[in-house]
Amino acid sequence: MRLLDILVVEDNAIDAKVLINVLLRCGVSLGEPDHATSLRAAQAALRIGDYDLVMLDMTLPDSDGLDTLESIKLAVPETPIIVVTANEDREFGIRAIRAGAQDFLVKGRLYQDLLERVVRYAVERHAHERDLNQARLEAQERNTELSRHREHLAELVAERTRELERSYQQLEQFAFVASHDLKEPLRKIQTFGGLLEKEYGDQLNEEARQFLHFMVDAADRMTRLIQDLLALSRLDTGDPFVTVSLDRVFDDVLADLELPLEDACARIQRVSLPEVFGDPLQLHQLFLNLVSNAVKYRDRERPLVITVEAEVNRDGCLVTVSDNGIGFDQADSTSIFEPFKRLHSRKEYPGTGIGLAICKRIVDLHGGDIEAEGETGKGALFRMSFPNKPKN
Do 100 and 225 reside in the same domain of the chain?
no
Do 270 and 352 reside in the same domain of the chain?
yes
The domain tally of the chain equals 3
Do 247 and 292 reside in the same domain of the chain?
yes
The mean per-residue pLDDT over the stretch 317-335 comes to 90
Do 218 and 97 reside in the same domain of the chain?
no
CATH number at residue 90: 3.40.50.2300
- In whole angstroms, what is the distance from residue 23 CA to residue 31 CA? 10
Sign of CA dihedral 265, 271, 275, 278: negative
DSSP states of 35-63 as a string? EESSHHHHHHHHHH---SEEEE-S-BTTB
Of 233, 252, 271, which residue is a domain's last?
A: 233
**pLDDT at residue 127 in the model:** 66
DSSP conformation class of 103: E
Domain-embedded: residue 128: no
**pLDDT at residue 253 in the model:** 92
Do 208 and 77 reside in the same domain of the chain?
no
Do 169 and 288 reside in the same domain of the chain?
no
**pLDDT at residue 311 in the model:** 93
pLDDT in tens, 91-136: 888 888 888 888 888 876 665 556 666 667 666 766 677 777 788 8
Do 227 and 261 reside in the same domain of the chain?
no
Domain-embedded: residue 106: yes
Domain carrying residue 294: 240-387
Question: What is the residue-averaged pLDDT of the chain?
Answer: 82
pLDDT in tens, 1-37: 457 788 889 898 888 887 777 777 766 666 778 899 9
Do 256 and 354 reside in the same domain of the chain?
yes
Domain-embedded: residue 118: no
Do 23 and 48 reside in the same domain of the chain?
yes
